[in-house]
Amino acid sequence: MCDIIWCKKELAGKPCDTINYLDPYFFWNWEGTINCAECGTVYYIHMIQGFMYRGPEERIGATPDTSPIYADRPYQGYSNYRPGVKERTRPFQCTPRKELLGVADMVKFSIRGRPVRGWRPQPPSAGLAGSRGFNWDIEKLSPEVWEEYQKKLAAGEVKDW
């Protein structure tokens, strides 16, 4: 859910009719000015806990602090401004933290040392999405995981509840 500023400014005898979307993460507790993506009209808003506390109030001659992330014009066939259009919308900066970049871990064994089916590659005989129900013959399907499991059993690393 996000808040919007529906610009109704008159331009050449017609209303602007642009809906500027304010993403809640950036504008959660925010006070400042924002521009309309179509006509550039600057509005002052003050948001507290994601709700519009004051505004939108038009500020003539002010420079905007930021831009909306997305804007569209529903009465003009849904023409829109995607994130990152210069002077109209700001870029969508939602990159994951550096710890989250990389390759997912392949889990072969549960925390108690029992084999699980979350590793790849699954053999083609595994059926739809590797589902085998309760019949799962690990010795036949994956001999290398079976050998590793036998070593864990011998070392006493496999635990019961």
- Residue 55 CB partners (closer than 8 Å, separation 6+): 43, 44, 45, 46
- Helix, strand, coil percentages for the chain (3-state, nearest 5): 20, 30, 55
Give the residues across from 28 on adjacent strands.
none
pLDDT at 21: 92
List per-residue pLDDT tens for the chain, 161 residues long: 678 999 999 988 889 999 999 888 788 889 999 999 999 999 999 999 888 899 899 999 999 999 998 999 988 887 888 888 888 888 876 655 555 556 666 778 888 888 877 666 655 665 555 555 555 677 776 788 888 888 998 998 888 76
pLDDT of residue 123: 58
Token pair listed for 157: 């690393």
Q: What are the residue ranges spanned by the domains of the chain?
A: 3-81, 103-155
Question: What is the structure's pLDDT at 87?
Answer: 85
Say what the pLDDT of residue 31 is.
Answer: 94
Going by C-alpha positions, the residue among 72, 39, 44 that lies closest to residue 57 is 44
The two beta strands, 14-15 and 18-22, are unpaired
Task: Give me 45's structure tokens.
Answer: 């808003």
Residue 50: per-residue pLDDT? 83
